[in-house]
Structure 1
Amino acid sequence: MRFYWDDEQSPSVEAPLGDFFGCTHGLRYNINSLPLSVNPSGGFNCYWPMPFRKSARIEVENLSSKPFHNFFYQIDYSLGNISESAAYFHANWRRSMTTRECPEHVILEGVSGVGHYVGTVAGWSQLSNGWWGEGEVKFFLDGEENPTICTTGTEDYFGGAWCFGETFSSPFCGYPLWRREEGEIPRHGLYRWHIPDPIRFSSSIRVTVQALGWYPDGTFQPLTDDIATVAYW
C-alpha cells in the first residue's frame, strides 16, 4: 500500500497491506485496538486521521505472481479547511535480520522536522529456542546520541510482562499472535499505540529495538532473528 498526500512524489505511507493493519507474517488474526481493528473473517479497518489539503492518492499493488480477485474497499473522507499546523500521516515498513554481532533492528530513521510518533507494529520471527524479548526499544530524539526514552524490555514496551504467557489485544497495545506450527519457527505479532502518550520531536527521530534473550541453557545472549516493523508518525 502507498498513500500520497497533495503533490508528493514519494509516498508518506508505504507498507505491506497486512502489516499496515497490524497483521504480520502474511497471516490474518483478530485485532481489537483503537486505531486499527481486524475482524472476522477478513475485515481490515483503519481509523487513523489522515488530513490532506488538495488531494489524496491511495495505491494497492499486487507483488505476488498470482492474480488477486475479490478485493473490496471503502474510503470515508470529508472536505473542509485544514489547519496549517495539521501534520501529514506517515507509516513505513522495515525488515532486517539481526546478528549476534549487531542485534539491533532499526524501526525508523531518516525523519526530519517537527512531528510525533504514534505507534509500532512488529512481526518477529524467532530463529532460536528460548526467550526472545529482552531487547530494549530506544527513541533517539532531536539528534541525541543517547536514547531519550529506553524501555526495560520488548514485552514491556508492547504492554506485557514476564514473557507474556498468552496472547491479548487491547486498545493501545497487544500481542495478538503467537504461532509455532510443526516444522515452523516461532512467530510473534505485536503492536503499541502512542495515542494518549505521543512521542514528540522537534527536528529528528530514530527508533530501534534490540534482539536479546535467554538461550535454553539460561545464557543471556544477543540473537539472530528476522524482524519486520511498521512505524507510524
Structure 2
Amino acid sequence: MKKRVLIQILVSGIFTFCFSQEKLTYPDLVKRLYDMEYLATPPEHGEQSGNFSSFDRSSSYNPKTETYDRWEAGNDGTGYIRKEGNGIVVFEKDGPGVIWRVWSALALSGHIKIYVDHQKQPIIDMSFSDFFEQINEDGIELPKELPGYPSINLPNLMPTLSRGRNRFIPIPYQKHCKIVLEKEWGMFYHITYTTFPEQQVNLPYFDGIHRKDDCITLAEADRVLVNRGFTRKQYSRETIKQKNIILNANQDENVTTIQGNGAITHFNIKYEENIYQYEADREELLKNVWIRITWDNDEKEAVLAPLGMFFGTYPDVYPNRTLPIGALPGYLYSNWYMPFSEAAKIELINKGDGRHNLDYEIAHIGLEKSADQLLRFHAKWHKGKFRHEVQTQGRDIDWPLLVTKGKGRFCGVTLHIQNEWEEPEKEAVNWWYGKYAASNIWWWWGEGDEKFYIDGEKFPSTFGTGSEDYIGYAWSAEPAFPLFDSGFASQPFTAIDGNGHTIVSRFHISDNIPFQESFTAVIEKYKDDKWGDKERGCTHCPNICLYQAVAYWYLSPGQSDAY
C-alpha cells in the first residue's frame, strides 16, 4: 500500500512538473525581442539576467573589509574567465538559459566557439567578425562563383552602431553553455543572458542551425524593428482616447483617468511644428512640461519625468526611433505596456512660464485576467539621487541610475550628459581636439562601466566596459561622432566636436533584468561635475560634466519607489 501511494505521488509530481512548464520554441524566443507585454510579467524565483564582459579583473570586492578595491580600473578590453587551449573562456553558465545579445568593439578573424550542454563539439564555430554578419542556415550551400557568404541581411537584429557590433540573435541552451574566443578574436565583449527556473520553462534544443521557421521569424522580427515608431502593435479591442490640451504657465492638467482593469499599450503627444519653430520654444516644452501617471489608488505617482527625457530627446527634438519610445518632428511616442487593475490617471504638469498647445492620444485595452497579477510601469527623472548612498566603501566613481526595492524588472535608461570645456591653448593637428595620442585634451566622459546589483549582491552580476559599450557603440572618444538609433539603443544627438550635449538611451526588452527584492544600477562617472586640470579633485575647474537620467522599470502593484 505504501509503495502504491509513493508511486502515485511520484507520478503526480512528474505530471505537475511537465504540465506547469512553459514550453518555448525558437520562434517564441525571437518574439521575446520585441514583446513589450512580457515586461509586466512578475519574475519567477530563479529567473536571473546578467552580463559577462571583458571588464578589468583587478576590480574586486574584499569581504573581510567590505570595501571595493580598484573599482575604477579601466583596462577593460581583454578580461576573461580562464585560458583554455588556444583561446579564452569568456562565458560559462548553467542552464536553462538564453543568450540575448553579444556586443564587441572590435571583432576580428579569431574564432568564436559556442558549446552547449557539455558537448565536445561547438554548435557555432566561425570568425568573430562573421558572427556579427552570419547565422548558420539549414540547407544552404555556398555557390561556387562566390568567394564567401554575403551578410545574412538582418540589419536591425545585427546593427553596427557607431563602430559597435551588436547581435540580437537568441542562443538557447538547456543545461550549460560555454563560449571560447580564440587568438586574434579582437577586443572588448559583452554577452547578456537570462537563466530561467527549470521547473517553469522548457527551452528548445538548439544545435546552432537556423531552420526555415527560425529564419522567417528572424526576418519578421527585423521588420518589426525597422518599422518601430512608424507602426505599433494594435489590438482588436483597443480604445483610443484623444484630447487637445492647453497648458498655461505653472498649470497641472488631468489628461484622463481610465477606470477598470486594463493596460495602456501606446500613447503619443503631438505639437504644431510651426508654433515650435524655434529651438528655445522646443526646449521650454521638453524641459518644463512633465508627465505624471498614477496607478490604481496609489498615493504616489509611478511616472514623473519631463517630456524630453522621458521620450529620449533633450534639449531639442532630435529625430530618433526605438522600440519603446521615440521622437519625430511634431510627435513623441511611447509603446511601454502599462497595466492597471482599478484606474490609470495621466496628468501633464507645466513647470514653466510658457503656454503650450498639445494633442494627446492614448490607446488602452481591457484585460480578461486581473492586472493584480501584473507589474506596474515606473519611470522617474533625477540628477543623481542616492549618490551619497552609492558612493561608499571605495565606490566613489559610481553614479546611480536606479536604486529601488521590491519585485520587478529593470528595462532601461535615458541619460543626458552636458560635457563642456574651455578651448585648449594648443591647437590639435587634426579634427577638433585630435585623435588617439594626438589629442590636445582628454574630454571624453564615457569611460565609465555600468554595474547592476540584484537582490543585495555584493559584486555586480552585470559589470560593463564603458558607457558607450553599454549603449552599444564603441571607440567614441575618437572622431567622427555619428548619430544613430536602433530598436534598443539610440544616440540622437551629440555635439559634432563632442563639446556640449549628448543624449543616449539603452533598453532591455528580452534582456530585461529581473529582481525579487532590490535592484541598484550605477554607471561610473570619471569626470567630476566640475573638472579641469584633473578629471577628479581638480584645483583649476573651468569645465563641467553634468548627468541627468530617466530610468524605466516595473514593480509589483502597490510598491512605490523612493523618487
| TM-score w.r.t. length of structure 1 | 0.86
Identical counterparts, % of pairs: 31
> What are the superposed Cα offsets for residues 139-172 of structure 1, whole Å, 9 maximum, x if unpaired?
1110112222111000000110011731100000
Cross-structure match for 1:179: 495
- 1:207 pairs with 2:521: yes
Choose the corresponding residue for 2:335, options 40, 47, 68: 47
The one-letter amino acid paired with 1:192 is R
- 1:115 pairs with 2:408: yes
The one-letter amino acid paired with 1:193 is F
Partners of 1:127 and 1:210 lie apart in 2 by 18
* Native 8 Å contact 1:211 1:222 kept in 2: no
Partners of 1:84 and 1:73 lie apart in 2 by 27
Cross-structure match for 2:312: 22
Choose the corresponding residue for 2:461, options 136, 143, 148: 148
Specify the SS of the correspondent of 1:60: strand
* Native 8 Å contact 2:340 2:371 kept in 1: no
* Native 8 Å contact 1:5 1:12 kept in 2: yes
* Offset, 1:103: 3.9
Choose the corresponding residue for 1:33, options 310, 315, 322: 322
* Offset, 1:232: 0.4
> What are the superposed Cα offsets for residues 163-211 of structure 1, whole Å, 9 maximum, x if unpaired?
1731100000111111269xx9511000001002011111000111112
- 1:73 pairs with 2:73: no
* Native 8 Å contact 1:180 1:187 kept in 2: no
Cross-structure match for 1:227: 547
Cross-structure match for 2:379: 91
* Offset, 1:222: 4.5
Partners of 2:516 and 2:353 lie apart in 1 by 43
Distance 1:200 1:222, change over 3 A: farther
Partners of 1:151 and 1:173 lie apart in 2 by 16
Cross-structure match for 2:512: 198
Partners of 2:302 and 2:514 lie apart in 1 by 18
Distance 1:96 1:202, change over 3 A: closer
Cross-structure match for 1:106: 400
Partners of 2:475 and 2:373 lie apart in 1 by 41
* Native 8 Å contact 1:127 1:226 kept in 2: no
* Native 8 Å contact 1:103 1:222 kept in 2: no
- 1:169 pairs with 2:485: yes
* Native 8 Å contact 1:212 1:220 kept in 2: no
Distance 1:70 1:84, change over 3 A: closer
Specify the SS of the correspondent of 1:118: strand
* Offset, 1:61: 0.5
- 1:137 pairs with 2:457: no
* Native 8 Å contact 2:292 2:301 kept in 1: yes
Distance 1:202 1:177, change over 3 A: same
Distance 1:84 1:54, change over 3 A: closer
Whichever structure has more helix as a proportion of its residues is 2
Distance 1:27 1:180, change over 3 A: same
Partners of 1:54 and 1:83 lie apart in 2 by 9
Specify the SS of the correspondent of 2:365: coil
Distance 1:204 1:96, change over 3 A: closer
Specify the SS of the correspondent of 1:135: coil
- 1:60 pairs with 2:353: no
Specify the SS of the correspondent of 2:469: helix
Q: Which of the pair has the greater relative contact order for Cα pairs under 8 Å at 6+ separation? A: 1
* Offset, 1:220: 8.9
